[in-house]
Chains A and B, each alone.
Chain A
Amino acid sequence: MTRFTEWSDLFAEHLHQKFKDKKGALLPFLHDIQDALGHIPPAAIDHICDSLNLSKAEVDGVISFYHDFKKEHDGRFSIKVCRAEACQSSGSEELVSHIQKRLTQDGTDTEFHIEAVYCLGNCALSPSVMMKEKLYGRVTPKRFDHLLTLERTPHA
């Protein structure tokens, strides 16, 4: 299957075919765009309105309701840190301060940013972090530094 990385007529048509007959298609439609492009651009919103016969207000309303959908993105890499109770009880707030300090010190806050999330389902191995859909457990500040180094090393 073609992997789409930017908004194009081809991508638009692909999505239209995939979702035109689906019940409650809007969320899966938005997920496909968000996954491919990292955000939902204005042209995509117009296309959804045509394809699913929805008003712009309806589509905008849905995008703004859900934490996963973003209308724009600044290209920064998101470090999702769990700040819910089980992680709080094992040092997630200290971890957040550590990461913040670390990013400012290295000047890499232009590349990375922290996104607070509330439970990643890894509560017994807290604190938990997710980067690029990969989950990490028992994330001490030291382990975080190690993971960040790995993340920055270009993959072979």
Chain B
Amino acid sequence: MTSVKIFIPQDAAALSVGADEVAALVQTQAETHNLPIEIIRNGSRGMLWLEPLVEVETPNGRIAYGPVGCEDVPSLFEEKFWEKHDHPLCHGLTEEIPFFKKQERLTFARCGLTDPLSLTDYRAYDGFNGLENALKMSPADVCQTVRDSGLRGRGGAGFPTGIKWQTVLGAESDVKYICCNADEGDSGTFADRMIMEGDPFSLIEGMAIAGYAVGAQEGYIYLRSEYPHAHRMLEKAIQIAYDNNWLGDNIQGADFSFSLEVRKGAGAYICGEETSMLESMEGKRGLVRAKPPIPALSGFFGKPTVINNVLSLTTVPIILAKGAAYYESFGIGRSRGTQPFQLSGNVKQGGLIEKAFGLTLRELIYDYGQGTRSGRDVRTVQVGGPLGAYLGDNQFDLALGYEEMSEGGALLGHGGVVIFDDSVDMAQQARFAFEFCTIESCGKCTPCRIGAQRGLETMDRVIAGDNVATNLDLLEDLCELMKDGSLCAMGGLTPLPVESAIQNFPNDFYSKTDCRS
């Protein structure tokens, strides 16, 4: 009898709700039932509300069970879950689950399908095809292909990746660097983590392609310290890549060498801002640098440096494997390709949804998310991290694209969508936006450093009902000052969640009883 293949993720989110314990129990139960099995610790499929998601391979495809707790494992075996599919936790074929079926998985094509550390799996699912193609092209053609694909930076600012690479390629220097921004500080986002844990070779491949395209031989991944599991996975994957000549000298016989190293952050949100990240990597306080010079010309230790987000870099391999036109055929307007959206907070079906740009927030919230976990009405969503706008129901039909969102007064950022039900107090959320800025400001410029503190105090007065109208006027001026006078988007965008909250939910502010009037 051939052994039954069972997939149980080793993604940090799955582990956070007991995937290791479930895997251990599945192993012992299989022994008790004399069932030969092979457990594969895959990445996550991104249907996080179903984690731990246990899949069993059948001739028709993988069948999903979830969320599986340790207490459910004996009954799975009693009901022979590998043959019969009528256990209450059974969801049928994984890829037929509507949340998954409607997605367009390009960047995350392999995530959850494979053993993240198996090079054989990686190759079997088209891994390294992109790098192989790139090595047959001229560096300039690789940059042009990325440019033609329309790929824009997924870290938040949406700058065209190909143009950035062309700038670095054109810069005269013996030494150049590729720095991957894996600081993923935005609340409500976890796509970088998921792909680093679930398909780490794709990041290695993307960075090697970037190195070849611009003439850089050294790469660094600046990883936030809150991700110890991703750190372990990356270290293992990098070692495997070195052992198999996908990193190191003369990669696969080509006249191209590339080294790669992980650098751990130290718990500072601002170090996700690219120049602050460079300072941090150089061993300094993470103070934001004034631009120019841009990092593409003067970056890590003053050398030309490509800085890209994890998702930008992990998308590059498929562009090189399938061509710019293929990738460019997805999306709307100037937002080409797909975006891994991350749905979280008070949501029934939270997780990762990779989909071509252009779907609406309403689809994300209700079709994919199925509304709130609490069962109450959705009141607001915050899109794009802690510096993103709070939107109300009348804005849920906005199309998710860079320009489309900014026309609606919002930003897409790193693609995080956090759902709140109707128990939320928007004045508290506005207060938090300032509080977060006081905690995480790098302190270099006054509008941000002092402004956030003043904003926090003013919001406290509004919440206490102290001269509400006057204080809200004051807040408006303060927000203008922060927007105009801050050096970076930390201070410059903190007003966005505040002002959008006031604008879309004025009652939460003006109804605070004014104790002095």
Whether A85 pairs with B187 at a CB distance below 8 angstroms is yes
Task: Mark out the residues of chain A between 9 and 41 whose CB falls within 8 Å of any chain B CB in the assembled complex.
Answer: 23-28, 30-31
Whether B225 pairs with A68 at a CB distance below 8 angstroms is yes
Q: A136: nearest residue on chain B (CB-CB)?
A: B16
Closest CB-CB distance, A124 to chain B, in whole Å? 3
Within 8 Å CB of B346, what residues of A?
89-90
Within 8 Å CB of A62, what residues of B?
283-285
Whether A135 pairs with B15 at a CB distance below 8 angstroms is yes
B residues whose Cβ falls under 8 Å from a Cβ of A: 12-13, 15-17, 48-49, 51, 184-190, 192-193, 225-229, 263-269, 280-286, 301, 342-347, 350-351, 373-374, 382, 386, 416, 418-421, 424, 429, 432, 436, 439-440
Task: Mark out the residues of chain A between 125 and 139 whose CB falls within 8 Å of any chain B CB in the assembled complex.
Answer: 125-126, 128, 130, 133, 135-138
Whether A89 pairs with B419 at a CB distance below 8 angstroms is yes
Whether B345 pairs with A85 at a CB distance below 8 angstroms is yes
CA A86 – CA B432 in complex, angstroms? 12
Whether B350 pairs with A119 at a CB distance below 8 angstroms is no
Whether B421 pairs with A135 at a CB distance below 8 angstroms is no
Candidate in B185, B343, B418 with the most chain A CB atoms within 10 angstroms: B418
CA A117 – CA B265 in complex, angstroms? 14
Whether A123 pairs with B263 at a CB distance below 8 angstroms is no
Whether B432 pairs with A88 at a CB distance below 8 angstroms is yes
- Say yes or no: is A4 at the interface (Cβ < 8 Å to chain B): no
Within 8 Å CB of B432, what residues of A?
85, 88
Closest CB-CB distance, B273 to chain A, in whole Å? 14
Q: B283: nearest residue on chain A (CB-CB)?
A: A26
Whether B350 pairs with A135 at a CB distance below 8 angstroms is no
Given A65-B285, A124-B347, check contact A119 B187 (CB 8 Å). Answer: yes
Whether A90 pairs with B226 at a CB distance below 8 angstroms is no
Whether B267 pairs with A137 at a CB distance below 8 angstroms is no
Given A62-B285, A89-B421, A118-B187, check contact A125 B416 (CB 8 Å). Answer: no
Interface mask (A100-137 → B, CB under 8 Å = 1, otherwise 0): 00000000000000000111111111101010010111
Whether A27 pairs with B263 at a CB distance below 8 angstroms is yes
CA A66 – CA B333 in complex, angstroms? 40
Whether B16 pairs with A125 at a CB distance below 8 angstroms is yes
Given A84-B187, A84-B386, check contact A124 B226 (CB 8 Å). Answer: no
CA A137 – CA B69 in complex, angstroms? 13
CA A44 – CA B280 in complex, angstroms? 20
Whether A89 pairs with B17 at a CB distance below 8 angstroms is no
Within 8 Å CB of B382, what residues of A?
85
Whether B429 pairs with A85 at a CB distance below 8 angstroms is yes
Within 8 Å CB of A88, what residues of B?
429, 432
- Say yes or no: is A3 at the interface (Cβ < 8 Å to chain B): no
CA A27 – CA B49 in complex, angstroms? 36
Within 8 Å CB of A25, what residues of B?
283
- Say yes or no: is A155 at the interface (Cβ < 8 Å to chain B): no
Whether B268 pairs with A67 at a CB distance below 8 angstroms is yes
Whether A68 pairs with B266 at a CB distance below 8 angstroms is yes
Within 8 Å CB of A119, what residues of B?
185-189, 226
CA A130 – CA B267 in complex, angstroms? 14
Closest CB-CB distance, A44 to chain B, in whole Å? 15
Within 8 Å CB of A75, what residues of B?
none
Closest CB-CB distance, A86 to chain B, in whole Å? 4
Given A119-B226, A124-B351, A135-B16, check contact A86 B283 (CB 8 Å). Answer: no
The total of Cβ contacts below 8 Å across the A-B interface reads 151
Closest CB-CB distance, A84 to chain B, in whole Å? 3
Interface size range on A against B? 35 or more
Whether A126 pairs with B344 at a CB distance below 8 angstroms is yes
Within 8 Å CB of A135, what residues of B?
12-13, 15-16, 229
**Which one of B51, B284, B347, B351 contacts A26 once the chains associate, using CB atoms below 8 Å?**
B284
Closest CB-CB distance, A155 to chain B, in whole Å? 15
Whether B342 pairs with A124 at a CB distance below 8 angstroms is yes
- Say yes or no: is A154 at the interface (Cβ < 8 Å to chain B): no
Within 8 Å CB of B226, what residues of A?
117, 119-121, 130
Given A119-B185, A135-B16, A137-B17, check contact A90 B301 (CB 8 Å). Answer: no
Interface mask (A75-102 → B, CB under 8 Å = 1, otherwise 0): 0000000001111111000000000000
CA A89 – CA B365 in complex, angstroms? 15
Within 8 Å CB of A133, what residues of B?
228
Closest CB-CB distance, B196 to chain A, in whole Å? 10
Whether B17 pairs with A138 at a CB distance below 8 angstroms is yes
Within 8 Å CB of B424, what residues of A?
89
Q: B280: nearest residue on chain A (CB-CB)?
A: A27
Within 8 Å CB of A89, what residues of B?
345-346, 418-421, 424
Interface mask (A42-62 → B, CB under 8 Å = 1, otherwise 0): 000000000010000010011
CA A69 – CA B424 in complex, angstroms? 34
Whether A85 pairs with B190 at a CB distance below 8 angstroms is no
9 closest A-B pairs by beta carbon, nearest first, are: A124-B350, A26-B283, A84-B187, A66-B266, A67-B267, A123-B344, A137-B16, A89-B345, A124-B48
Q: List 11 extra interface pairs beyond A61-B285, A84-B188, A90-B373, CB under 8 A.
A: A24-B263, A31-B266, A66-B266, A67-B266, A85-B345, A86-B344, A89-B419, A90-B374, A119-B186, A123-B187, A128-B16
Within 8 Å CB of A85, what residues of B?
187-188, 345, 382, 386, 418, 429, 432
Within 8 Å CB of B284, what residues of A?
26, 58, 62
Between-chain CB contacts (< 8 Å), 11 pairs? A27-B283, A52-B283, A66-B265, A85-B382, A86-B418, A89-B418, A118-B187, A118-B436, A118-B440, A119-B226, A121-B226
Whether A118 pairs with B283 at a CB distance below 8 angstroms is no
Q: A31: nearest residue on chain B (CB-CB)?
A: B264
Within 8 Å CB of B268, what residues of A?
65-67
CA A151 – CA B101 in complex, angstroms? 40
CA A67 – CA B265 in complex, angstroms? 10
Within 8 Å CB of A90, what residues of B?
345-346, 373-374
Whether A125 pairs with B193 at a CB distance below 8 angstroms is no
Q: B343: nearest residue on chain A (CB-CB)?
A: A124
Closest CB-CB distance, B267 to chain A, in whole Å? 4
CA A61 – CA B343 in complex, angstroms? 38
Within 8 Å CB of B416, what residues of A?
86, 123
**Which one of B185, B190, B429, B439 contacts A123 once the chains associate, using CB atoms below 8 Å?**
B190
